[in-house]
Amino acid sequence: MQSYALTVDKFLDHAAKWSGAREIVTARGGRIGYAALRTRSNRLSGALAVLGLKAGDRVGTLAWNTQHHLEIYYAVMGAGMVCHTLNPRITAAQLAAMVNEAEDRVLAVAANLWPLLAEVAPLCPGLEHVILLDGDAPTDDGLGDHPATVWTLEGLLTAHGAEAVWGAFPEETPAGLCYTSGTTGRPKGVVYTHRSNYLHTLRGLQADAFALTARDVVLVAVPMFHANAWGLPFAAPAAGAKLVLPGRQADGESLARLMREEGVTVAVGVQTVWLGVLDHLEATGGALPALERVVIGGSHCPDALIQRMETGLDALVQTSWGMTELSPLGVVTARDAPRTETRAAGRPMMGLDLKLTDADGVTLPQQRGVVGHLKVKGPSVLDRYFKAEADSLDPEGYFDTGDLARIDADGSLTICGRSKDLIKSGGEWINPTEIEAIVGRHPTVAQVAVIGRADRKWDERPVLIVEPRQGQAVDARGLIAALKGQVPDWWLPDQVARIAAMPLAATGKIDKVRLRADYVDGKIPVEEVAR
């Protein structure tokens, strides 16, 4: 057999040769075919070499889902450098800490994020070059005395763009770096290799996973700065699918208009994104006639919201679960899976193994129909964190996800909550996810979260926090009544809070860390409810 390194540049090479005219569309930013994008991206690799970058160097990106961000992806990875995607929704101090730890030599930045860059750059003495991805360079570069050279992307291509050789390195070469969201502590870096990304892409393209084809038009509403945008920047060109990128506009009206105009057939994003789209369609009577499937993930989605999405969007909803450390896809519900009242997250595809353990890490003798701590293993699962001194695996090579889960008889995985979110009350555990699933079905509730509060007698007690559905009034006692008989009485929250909008973490999940802090600070008014 031929020696053929599994490197991600081959996805764009394939798309350029066999689907060259298929488009990449950026909202308010134009469109380009795969062949032309491949040419630009390859010439950008040559320009980065002229700037002195070499294989293994890290290039940071501070950008949205756009054509230019995709060009940077392939320019950096194709040349053997590491694409370090940075989340623009975190603080300048946090970003600077990541840039410095990664030793990024270059930052590629969206023009509308220049004010954030101006805060970050003075904290990053090792930064040598800044590439403005769109727009003109400011007359005053805004970086103060920082010695970094500022380029526009087009100026850099004009001055130094040159053809470059792609993929001339082993497949185990690092390709990407992404930091975890930090919801359980300090963010940690996860390094993806070309091999892991390549195998992850093949896993995602399986018929029981994303199942993309050349006829599909794919909206990527998951951010490219987080966990490879679920691998879609690789999977879409690999399949020859049309790629639709929303830029910074992720509100319901903008997404609905873009999906309708471009004929999107598959849309991918966390559930909070689709709430905005649903609200807009319901308010305007609009529809998305081309839409066939919506893939959701990020956190547990209440069954009632899934049903509302399928009705309001007139599309099939595929649930999924994953995490940064998994590259990130874990399981997906197949298109033809039975539509049961309670949806599992999905089934694992070839390339990922699962097991359940007890709290001490001992493998449970019974793996089906019981709840345990979920561990995973596979060629696109983290071995050790960036610059860590030790592996993060158990003796059998499995990574602890921190999730509680159940595997059904047919192999479907249901996430039962984060082990860190469990509430210990009177020496016994309360699982917030079970309460959230029930309350989430209530017709007046848009989003729901349960957090623990300190209690002198019981150690902790659950607090129910809800965001009312648009135009609805929430009755606290009615919500508690809906829980009775479905969970033990001692699980019932005795405090209910209504808030206008759930705080969201940088990845689009409900930010329970923020909710706990706001509760402690007295920023969340609560209603006492007798149980």
Angstrom CA distances, 270 to 27, 40, 508, 524, stand at: 19, 31, 6, 25
Structure token digits, residue 492:
């019932």
* Dist. CA 400–CA 277, nearest whole Å: 35
Among candidate residues 17, 54, 420, 424, the one labeled active-site is: 424
Whether the per-residue pLDDT at 323 is higher than 80: the answer is yes
Among 329, 325, 323, 330, CA closest to 382: 325
- At 325-374, the pLDDT tens digits run 999 999 999 998 877 766 788 999 999 999 999 989 999 999 999 999 99
pLDDT in tens, 60-119: 999 999 999 999 999 999 999 999 999 998 889 999 999 999 999 999 999 999 999 999
Catalytic hit among 325, 333, 433, 491? 325
Q: Which is more confidently placed, 332 or 509?
A: 332
Identify the structural domains of the chain with CATH numbers, from first to last: 9-21+30-179 (3.40.50.12780), 422-528 (3.30.300.30)
Known active-site residue 357: no
Q: For residue 141, what pLDDT band results from cuts at 50, 70 and 90? A: low
Q: Among 148-152, 178-182, 252-256, 289-293, name the one with the lowest average pLDDT.
A: 178-182
**How far apart are the C-alpha atoms of 127 and 60, rounded to whole Å?**
10
Is there a catalytic annotation at residue 429? yes
Which structure tokens are listed for 402?
């921190």
Task: Say what the pLDDT of residue 24 is.
Answer: 98
Average pLDDT over residues 269-289: 93
Distance of CA 142 to the CA centre of its chain: 31
Could you say which of 7, 152, 180, 265 is catalytic? 180
Angle (CA) 319 88 141, round 5°: 155
Q: DSSP state, 32?
A: E
**CA–CA dist 47, 39 (Å, integer):** 12
Q: Which long-range contacts (CB under 8 A, 24 or more apart) does 405-409 make?
A: 405/354, 405/356, 405/371, 405/372, 405/373, 405/374, 406/356, 406/369, 406/370, 406/371, 406/372, 407/354, 407/356, 407/367, 407/368, 407/369, 408/344, 408/368, 408/369, 409/368, 409/369
Counting residues of the chain whose pLDDT is more than 70, the rounded percentage is 97
Q: Which of 261, 340, 387, 429 is catalytic?
A: 429
Mean pLDDT value across residues 44-64: 98
pLDDT of residue 271: 85
Compute the distance between CA of residue 50 and CA of residue 259 in angstroms, rounded to an integer: 39
Band (406; pLDDT cuts 50, 70, 90)? very high
Of the listed ranges 9-13, 80-84, 87-91, 394-398, the one predicted with least confidence: 87-91
What is the percent of the chain where pLDDT is above 90?
78
180 a catalytic residue? yes
- Say what the pLDDT of residue 182 is: 62
Between CA 70 and CA 63 the distance in angstroms is 10
Q: Are 486 and 438 within 8 A, CB to CB?
A: yes
Residue 388 has pLDDT above 80, yes or no: yes
Position 138 pLDDT exceeds 80:
no
Is 325 an annotated catalytic residue?
Answer: yes
Distance set, CA 276 to CA 232, 253, 269, 290, 298 (Å):
22, 8, 12, 19, 16
Buried b (16+ CB within 10 A) or exposed e, 217-252: bbbbbbbbbbbbbbbbbbbbbbbbbbbbbbbbebeb
- pLDDT of amino acid 437: 87
pLDDT at 190: 98
Q: What's the whole-number mean pLDDT along residues 238-266?
A: 97
Is the Cβ–Cβ distance between 489 and 456 less than 8 Å?
no
